[in-house]
């Protein structure tokens, strides 16, 4: 019976026919950015210019308005964009050469060269309609080569009650937190560690082990996938001064068993309160889902001298089920039976916090940023990610970057780095972008992993070919209407 409580969500999704959509994972920019694609094409239009035919009484009719009628009344906006990216990426991977016959000969590192061509075509369509001053709906679709896997980027309705309470219902991009590098306060973006899998057990209910001694896991059928556009939610905003209260009812792939009929208890619940003062901007919130640890967070930011932004965030996580398992370290030793058994997390309460800054000069043409982040959480760290598309890493972390814009901002030179002090590994990505024309963007990047070869950043290499050093050259032609 509880599953039928969410059937009303389907009423919204019958507003439009299903067009093709989805962004491919081959987007070169995803190596260097973690920004959400939230661009909406156009405004809902002006209500002041009504169609002149409607001013005539004899033309009035009970026939419902068509899409053409909406366009004539300037309540409907259509937008489209198309991108073509071509590129080339050579790179090198360091490997150990152990070909010597003498055991006393130490292994030497050799460089393995690989290269690849890059091509991406993507198209996006956006439909934005205002039914009246209190109700509006937006749909955004994307399709791309080479995946051609359609996905709805955004599909939601906005409505309000007398400018007092605002609702947004459907598939929408939601991001909490203010960090420029580590997205650990985006609480609803968390997923259970074993999402998409289940542990195998024998007839007695004991765990089954693989040939290498680890717990045996099998992918659920059908295997689910994760993206930033697989969610369904209802968001309520109540303005209070220049801040306000947000309440959220949220579910996504990884929370439900059946996307067609998500059960009521498969929704997560959360919200935050934002207090905007002259001296600082303060946000406090929390999020709960039955399969996740309960988490609360705060964010505080202030601006000094009209250019220096200082911010701090923190998360407290409570394992209410007391069932978290610690990750198996790479240097772990097997038990007497040769099995690697993950240890239970002895701490039901974990926390993380950061301190960061951002400053710019010369009207934003020179920027510097930096952040320290302590991550005390060992579990449910994905798929939040970082600025460079890497997962969160346990322990003490540093991040920094700068950007220079030259020639009327046509040439951008920037570099970002992430470094984990605890395991001595990091990643650095210098990037040069030249906007040759309004429709042509040239980009060169040199991402590379440094530090320990067994560190987390080496294990989670963002390069699709697993190379430690690589060079990326791309040319992107784009246009929109």
Q: Count of CB atoms within 10 A of residue 302's CB?
A: 15
Q: For the whole model, what pTM was predicted?
A: 0.77
Between 453 and 353, residue with greater pLDDT? 353
285-295: string of b/e by CB count within 10 Å (b at 16+)? bebbbebbbbb
pLDDT of 59 higher than 60: no
For 230-289, the pLDDT digits (tens) are 788 999 999 998 889 999 999 887 777 777 777 888 899 999 999 999 899 999 999 999
The average pLDDT across 363-370 equals 95
* 21-25, 256-260, 312-316, 379-383: segment of lowest average pLDDT: 21-25
For 313-357, the pLDDT digits (tens) are 999 999 988 777 777 776 677 777 777 777 777 788 999 999 999
224 close to 254: Cβ distance less than 8 angstroms: yes
**What percent of the chain shows pLDDT beyond 90?**
44
Which pairs with CB-CB distance under 8 Å and at least 24 residues apart come from 288-294?
A: 289/255, 290/265, 290/266, 291/192, 291/255, 292/190, 292/191, 292/192, 292/268, 292/380, 293/190, 293/317, 293/318, 293/319, 293/320, 293/324, 293/350, 293/379, 293/380, 294/318, 294/320
262 close to 253: Cβ distance less than 8 angstroms: no
* 22-26, 430-434, 456-460: segment of lowest average pLDDT: 22-26
**73 confidence band (pLDDT: 50, 70, 90):** low
- Total residue length of the chain: 481
* 347-351, 403-407, 454-458: segment of lowest average pLDDT: 454-458
pLDDT of 31 higher than 70: no
Predicted pLDDT at 110: 67
Best CA proximity match to 180, nearest among 349, 312, 362, 10 = 312
Q: Rounded to whole angstroms, how far apart are CA atoms 236 and 249?
A: 9
**What percent of the chain shows pLDDT beyond 70?**
76
Predicted pLDDT at 50: 39
109 close to 97: Cβ distance less than 8 angstroms: yes
Best CA proximity match to 354, nearest among 175, 181, 186 = 181
Dihedral of alpha carbons 137, 34, 390, 442, sign = positive
Predicted pLDDT at 198: 65
Predicted pLDDT at 459: 79
Residue with tokens 């046509």: 410
Q: Provide the terminal-to-terminal Cα distance of the chain, rounded to the nearest Å.
A: 46
């Amino acid at each position: 019976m509880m599953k039928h409580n969410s059937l009303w969500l389907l009423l919204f999704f019958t507003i439009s026919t299903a067009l093709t959509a989805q962004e491919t994972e081959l987007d070169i920019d995803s190596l260097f950015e973690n920004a959400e694609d939230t661009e909406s094409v156009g405004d809902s239009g002006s209500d002041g210019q009504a169609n002149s035919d409607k001013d005539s009484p004899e033309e009035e009719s009970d026939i419902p308005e068509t899409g053409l009628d909406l366009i004539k009344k300037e309540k409907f906006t259509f937008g489209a964009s198309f991108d073509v990216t071509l590129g080339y990426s050579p790179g090198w991977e360091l490997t150990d050469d152990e070909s010597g016959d003498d055991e006393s000969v130490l292994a030497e590192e050799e460089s393995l060269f690989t290269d690849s061509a890059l091509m991406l075509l993507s198209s996006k369509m956006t439909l934005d309609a205002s039914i009246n001053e209190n109700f509006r709906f937006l749909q955004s679709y994307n399709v791309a080569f080479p995946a051609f896997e359609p996905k709805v980027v955004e599909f939601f309705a906005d409505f309000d009650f007398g400018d007092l309470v605002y609702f947004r219902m459907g598939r929408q991009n939601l991001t909490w937190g203010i960090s420029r590098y580590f997205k650990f306060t985006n609480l609803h973006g968390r997923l259970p560690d074993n999402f998409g899998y289940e542990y195998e057990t024998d007839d007695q209910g004991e765990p089954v082990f693989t040939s290498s001694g680890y717990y045996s896991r099998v992918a659920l059928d059908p295997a689910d996938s994760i993206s930033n556009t697989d969610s369904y939610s209802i968001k309520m905003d109540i303005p209070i001064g220049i801040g306000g209260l947000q309440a959220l009812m949220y579910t996504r792939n990884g929370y439900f068993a059946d996307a067609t009929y998500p059960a009521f208890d498969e929704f997560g619940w959360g919200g935050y309160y934002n207090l905007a003062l002259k001296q600082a901007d303060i946000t406090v919130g929390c999020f709960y889902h039955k399969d996740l640890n309960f988490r609360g967070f705060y964010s505080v930011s202030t601006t000094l001298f009209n250019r220096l932004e200082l911010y701090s965030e923190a998360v407290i996580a409570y394992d209410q089920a007391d069932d978290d398992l610690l990750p198996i370290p790479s240097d772990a030793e097997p038990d007497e039976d040769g099995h690697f058994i993950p240890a239970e997390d002895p701490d039901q309460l974990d926390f993380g916090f950061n301190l960061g800054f951002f400053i710019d000069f010369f009207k934003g043409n020179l920027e510097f940023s930096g952040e320290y982040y302590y991550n005390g959480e060992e579990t449910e760290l994905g798929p939040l990610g970082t600025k460079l598309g890497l997962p969160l890493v346990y322990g003490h972390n540093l991040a920094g970057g700068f950007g220079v814009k030259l020639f009327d901002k046509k040439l951008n030179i920037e570099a970002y780095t992430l470094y984990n002090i605890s395991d001595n590994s990091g990643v650095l990505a210098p990037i040069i972008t030249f906007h040759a024309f309004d429709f042509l963007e040239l980009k060169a990047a040199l991402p590379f992993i440094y530090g320990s070869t067994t560190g987390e950043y080496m294990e989670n290499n963002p390069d699709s070919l697993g190379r430690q050093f690589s060079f990326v050259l791309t040319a992107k032609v784009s246009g929109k209407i």
